[in-house]
Structure 1
């Protein structure tokens, strides 16, 4: 009785937490853990939970890489009376076929068209019987920065009518639609709730990523927690080699053209909002949970840029400063070895007078270039 209750309780906890996935408790869990990445302590629990919900392999000998929940994009608050519904029922009620209800009637196809039209992403989807997508690929070719955008960021550009939109005459978008496209273009889901995306950087000509794209990658991109142990060590060497670099995960993924797999599901959770010490607690929210995993068909040491270039060093070479003037200690040593006491006194006197003149000149320049508004009062204080 107690045994049944314990097993039932354990199953209920996992099912509620990871509802869209089947429980697949692997027999050889020790092997899975050993082949996994070397996680830091705060990642251990997340990784252990992820392996419990790993999609079961068709072959018992095949290593299974799990989907790991990496981030959640919260979409909308929901009424408390709908909290008892399953995640899928909440999605059907609030989202239906729209990836984001606040963007209707624009759908994921509209945003995919933006990325295709700008030459930013190449999409390729495999269609199963019934016309739905089984899985899709997205190759990232370029990311347009605000400086590279032609014209006003708010001004709309026209997309030539496409066969995907036979009922529409024209499509328009601006730079902010372009930013939004990177999120919404990946929000397709089929009826089986099994659609996945294969993502990879390809043919990038520049690594100048705008800040909003760095944020996008933090939500949707590869994270070191999914890297197999040997590749995790390469990543750590890359970080040590490029200490001052920002967004190491993004740069590592882009430079080595490492593919990763993502999927998403819908979760309902209570959130707390605070403002000036007051808080609104337990507000039910519906959100899109993003899960990523390693692609086990990718041979990093054979198929990636690493096999040709090894550890890539992008740290700028610091130029050595040329000494325009000798240090005083060096000058004194030369004077002591080559001059009489009388000459030495005269030369030291000239050296000190020259130093005083330079100090006065620097003080004069600082006064001339001082900020004329530095003493002005802030009108908003």
Structure 2
């Protein structure tokens, strides 16, 4: 849609969602026509398929090349239905995720643009490092909201346990762990050179989103500690600015007379007292 509200068709962008391509079946060698909408439809329905052996579990792995591109909204919706929960991550991957989620440039940029949805960080984590998972479903008897009995699919996801298996002393998924560690180090180096901030977001929203991205992996006390730490950083940053401004104003308005001079160490003692008081207040607030 343009700035004046005019709707732009995909064809005007040089692409056609109705253009048909051929899919050749590997065994039957029969060509099947499909377009962009058929592709999306198939992507949403293929995991509902039950084969002749009455098996309905799937091994899923998203190509990491997708992470480098813009992810379509329809895929984000697909992820909310079939994507894994962050809770399936084993401990070694959980620690890396908690570190990565605070430093990922893509997540930071999307939050700067005020783009956020539940499960977004997990989606990008699995996509960036192409981490596989297992999805399955089963038929269960349940009741509708009106109380009528019905059959429904219940979906389950689990981590691919083979990544944690050691072969000849080497962890099968070690290359993924190494890639995550290297990427996190690179992101830290980039952040120090080009610090990214989210000034347009309120402090409460920034903290809330950070906690949402760690939901299920941290305890309530850890969440409170993170909240207090972010509040402390914001307070100290603003207090530091206020102190500098006050010093500038005093320097401009006061004379160099003896009555305006302070004994060495007195000013430092006052600052230390303020920091101690702030720490005490935050600890009491946390309790």
Higher helix share: 2
TM-score by length of 2: 0.48
**More strand per residue:** 1
User: Scaled by the length of structure 1, what TM-score is found?
Assistant: 0.38
- Which structure has the greater CA radius of gyration? 1
